[in-house]
A and B are shown apart, each in its own frame.
Chain A
Amino acid sequence: MSLSLLSRGEMQFDQLLQYTLSGLSTGAIYALIGIGFSIIYNATGIINFAQGEFVMLGGLFTLTCLDLLKLPIWAAVPCAVVASTVAGLLFERLAIRPLKAPTPINLVIITIGGSILIRGLAMLAWGKDTHSIPSFSGDDPIAIGGATILPQHLWILAITVIIIIINKYYFYYTISGKAMRACAYNRRAAGLVGIDVRRMVLFSFLISSAMGAMAGIIVAPLTMTAYDVGVMLGLKGFCAAIIGGMSSGMATVVGGLLLGILESLGAGLISSGYKDAIAFIILLLILFIRPQGLFGKADSERV
């Protein structure tokens, strides 16, 4: 009797460990996408609903580099990031900047329109099929306690950490990073002290589309990719950013990880039917109860 209880307890623990690990790796992706949302929000005051599409572009450009240009994976990844970043810059130049009356509602609607356009073009270019991309380093599972993960999960976690560190360094130790923070505090004042606000907006699109693309590339081997993967991933990233109070620092990272873990625990312990509902219930609760984010003070520093 006690033995069976013990083994049952162990099994429960293994399950919990697996849920948490699965949650962490999905959460890391949400975090990367979420940071992309916040960077643009802080520089421009808009929510860029096309953010998810850069995630999709990252994956699909990698596919093109691998299949069509026959590049090895280490070369295909940077190429795909560059290509998606160029798409991000074009989007800012052609859709955001020429706007005569850039009120937030106009801009938000433009980003939604832009996302539909990008998705449509991707559908024409890559077709409607789902595509798979090989893992960076094999598919042999790695056992951690009673749980297993894939080498690709380690890549995801490692690349996420590296990007976050670079991000932190950029915002705190470089001139243009500091200028971008200045824009986030007060665009008008930043303009008055000689910061080119429009250039900072362009920069913000550059950084966030590159990050989105990277997120899309590192998950593609696990989740596969298609022209329409950006929608759901974009929404989840948005949730992460909201939990983090639209901060482009650790708060959004924690928000993403929290979301990933809660989703997988919810699916595992309650019911898998409620997985997406959990994410959106959290989103609504945060917006109702703590619109400044889970960790934010009412008037917090957002960068």
Chain B
Amino acid sequence: MNCRVISYLFVAVTIMFSTTALAAAPIKIGGLFAVTGPAAFLGEPERNTANMVVDEINKAGGVKGHKLELVVYDTAGDATKAVQLTTKLIKDDKVVAIIGPSTTGETMAVIPVAEKLQVPLISCSAGSKITDPVKKWIFKTAQNDSLAVGRIYEYLQKSKQTNVAILSVSDGFGASGREQLKAQAAKYGIKIVSDDTYGPKDTDMTVQLTKIRGSHVQAIICWGTNPGPAVIAKNARQLDIKTPIFMSHGVSSKKFIELAGEAAEGIKIPSGKVVVADQLSNSDHQKKSLMSFVKDYQKHYKTEGDHFGGHAWDAVMLIKNAVEKGADSPQSIRDNLEKTRGFAGIGGTFNYSPQDHAGLGKDAFVLVEVKNKDWVVVK
């Protein structure tokens, strides 16, 4: 009797193992997102999106018979932690590719690790120095700050508003934007008349704006992420400043309009197309991807998908496409990633090449304006 039970068990176990052996091994992807901490507004939508997309791919049967398996860790926006977790993902979890981290600082810190251990990494952060100069194993999906600055300056040049004031937040995002604003000004014939900053936790910017008002500029460019820009919008309304205000893609979501309320009206920003997905013409290559992302995110998380989540969407899809073309090892995924051409994602249309691991062109950004509590494309 006992013998029989054991033999049944034996058979059962054998069958279990053999079935897993029959199905193709899952492809393990690592995710490093700043889900908590100061950059949580980036990390949270990124993690949500990555989970959502991977689930959907698996539900549809995986990629070429392989299921995808996503291992996500929270870096809390901490570069040291990000480095440790990268090593963990590669050495313990044996992932074949990594998505993230969420911030430029973290990404710069983990680049040496990914390069040394030779695993492709698709960063979700924007800093241009991540892929400039090109590093063999490092790609990114977030649009460069320089593209956003270019969009604003192009518009200003066209409308002959050449004297500008800049007001940037004193953190990594603001510093990088400020650098780009200053670097590109001459190229577009823009003169920066006043250059001010504010702290990420500041609650009143009337002082900076009063100073800017005194300098009689034709446009104010503010570079920061919520809530600072919303405070600035409110303060500008309080001071009755009529000068056109431009902000960065850091506030490109409905959240900004909700926070700034009335004061948001008329503010223009360069933005990924995701906030105006439904206004795009059907001929736009990205429309299909954008609509499916926006709808899915709404369905899963009851809030609107923003372009931060879009960075993770693009990264998962890029890896999926690479696997579809027959890659399953870090080396082959990297090689296939580099061959990506004309992939219409959320951030823009990606064209990677051995010389370009950022992959996006100027068309990644459109200039949008707040009208009647919604983003509208500026014609």
Residue on A with the closest CB to B209? A18
Q: Does B226 belong to the interface (CB within 8 Å)?
A: yes
Closest 10 CB pairs of A and B: A223-B203, A130-B227, A232-B201, A22-B206, A128-B40, A18-B210, A267-B207, A268-B207, A272-B196, A264-B207
- Measured between C-beta atoms, what is the minimum distance from A199 to chain B in Å? 35
Residue on A with the closest CB to B208? A272
Q: Which of A90-146 contact B (CB under 8 A)?
A: 123, 128-132, 139, 141
CA distance A261 to B280 in the complex (A): 48
Which residues of B sit under 8 angstroms from A147, Cβ to Cβ? 210
Q: Does B288 belong to the interface (CB within 8 Å)?
A: no
Contact with B along A12-47 (1 / 0, CB 8 A): 000100110011011000000000000000000000
Q: Does B170 belong to the interface (CB within 8 Å)?
A: yes
Q: Does B92 belong to the interface (CB within 8 Å)?
A: no
Binding site of A, secondary structure by majority: helix, strand, loop or mixed? helix
CA distance A141 to B206 in the complex (A): 13
CA distance A150 to B262 in the complex (A): 14
Stretch of B119-127, B253-261, B338-346 that contacts chain A: B253-261
Question: A26–B204 contact, CB under 8 A?
Answer: yes
The listed residue (A22, A149, A226, A232) touching B207 by CB distance below 8 A is A22
Q: Chain A residues in contact with chain B, CB under 8 A?
A: 11, 15, 18-19, 22-23, 25-26, 123, 128-132, 139, 141, 147-150, 219, 222-224, 226, 228-229, 231-233, 264, 267-268, 271-273, 275-276
Residue on B with the closest CB to A226? B227
Which residues of A sit under 8 angstroms from B329, Cβ to Cβ? none
CB<8 Å pairs between A and B, sample of 14? A132-B258, A132-B260, A139-B263, A141-B239, A148-B238, A219-B203, A222-B203, A222-B234, A224-B227, A229-B201, A229-B203, A267-B207, A268-B210, A273-B170
CA distance A275 to B234 in the complex (A): 20
Residue on A with the closest CB to B234? A222
Which residues of B sit under 8 angstroms from A141, Cβ to Cβ? 237-240
Q: Does B284 belong to the interface (CB within 8 Å)?
A: no
Question: B202–A275 contact, CB under 8 A?
Answer: yes
Which residues of A sit under 8 angstroms from B234, Cβ to Cβ? 139, 222
Residue on B with the closest CB to A141? B238
Question: A132–B230 contact, CB under 8 A?
Answer: yes
Question: A129–B262 contact, CB under 8 A?
Answer: no
CA distance A228 to B41 in the complex (A): 13
Contact with A along B333-363 (1 / 0, CB 8 A): 0000000000000000000000000000000
Residue on B with the closest CB to A276? B199
Question: A272–B197 contact, CB under 8 A?
Answer: yes
Question: B201–A231 contact, CB under 8 A?
Answer: yes
Residue on A with the closest CB to B211? A268
- Measured between C-beta atoms, what is the minimum distance from B182 to chain A in Å? 15
CA distance A128 to B76 in the complex (A): 13
Q: Chain B residues in contact with chain A, CB under 8 A?
A: 36, 40-41, 44, 170, 196-199, 201-204, 206-208, 210-211, 214, 226-227, 230-231, 234, 237-240, 255, 258-263
CA distance A206 to B355 in the complex (A): 64
Given contacts A229-B201, A264-B207, 14 further A-B pairs with CB under 8 A are: A19-B207, A19-B210, A22-B204, A128-B44, A130-B226, A132-B258, A139-B263, A148-B239, A222-B234, A228-B201, A232-B199, A272-B197, A272-B211, A275-B202
Which residues of B sit under 8 angstroms from A272, Cβ to Cβ? 196-198, 207-208, 211
The listed residue (A15, A139, A224, A229) touching B230 by CB distance below 8 A is A224
Residue on B with the closest CB to A16? B210
CA distance A18 to B201 in the complex (A): 21
Which residues of B sit under 8 angstroms from A19, Cβ to Cβ? 207, 210
CA distance A149 to B262 in the complex (A): 17
CA distance A148 to B198 in the complex (A): 20
Residue on A with the closest CB to B230? A224
Which residues of A sit under 8 angstroms from B263, Cβ to Cβ? 139
The listed residue (A128, A224, A268) touching B231 by CB distance below 8 A is A224
Which residues of A sit under 8 angstroms from B203, Cβ to Cβ? 26, 219, 222-223, 229, 233
Q: With contacts A268-B211, A272-B198 known, is A223 near B204, CB below 8 A?
A: yes
Which residues of B sit under 8 angstroms from A26, Cβ to Cβ? 203-204
- Measured between C-beta atoms, what is the minimum distance from A226 to chain B in Å? 7
Which residues of B sit under 8 angstroms from A271, Cβ to Cβ? 196
Residue on A with the closest CB to B40? A128
The listed residue (B41, B202, B238, B240) touching A129 by CB distance below 8 A is B41
- Measured between C-beta atoms, what is the minimum distance from A221 to chain B in Å? 9
Which residues of A sit under 8 angstroms from B44, Cβ to Cβ? 128
Which residues of A sit under 8 angstroms from B227, Cβ to Cβ? 130, 223-224, 226
Which residues of A sit under 8 angstroms from B226, Cβ to Cβ? 130
CA distance A82 to B12 in the complex (A): 62
Question: A150–B199 contact, CB under 8 A?
Answer: no
Residue on A with the closest CB to B239? A148
Residue on B with the closest CB to A235? B201
Which residues of B sit under 8 angstroms from A275, Cβ to Cβ? 198-199, 202, 207
Question: B214–A25 contact, CB under 8 A?
Answer: no
Interface centre among B41, B197, B240 (most CB of A within 10 A): B197
CA distance A273 to B36 in the complex (A): 27
CA distance A55 to B4 in the complex (A): 70
Which residues of A sit under 8 angstroms from B170, Cβ to Cβ? 273
Question: A11–B240 contact, CB under 8 A?
Answer: no
- Measured between C-beta atoms, what is the minimum distance from A138 to chain B in Å? 10
Question: A11–B202 contact, CB under 8 A?
Answer: no
Which residues of B sit under 8 angstroms from A273, Cβ to Cβ? 170, 196-197
- Measured between C-beta atoms, what is the minimum distance from A247 to chain B in Å? 25
CA distance A131 to B237 in the complex (A): 19
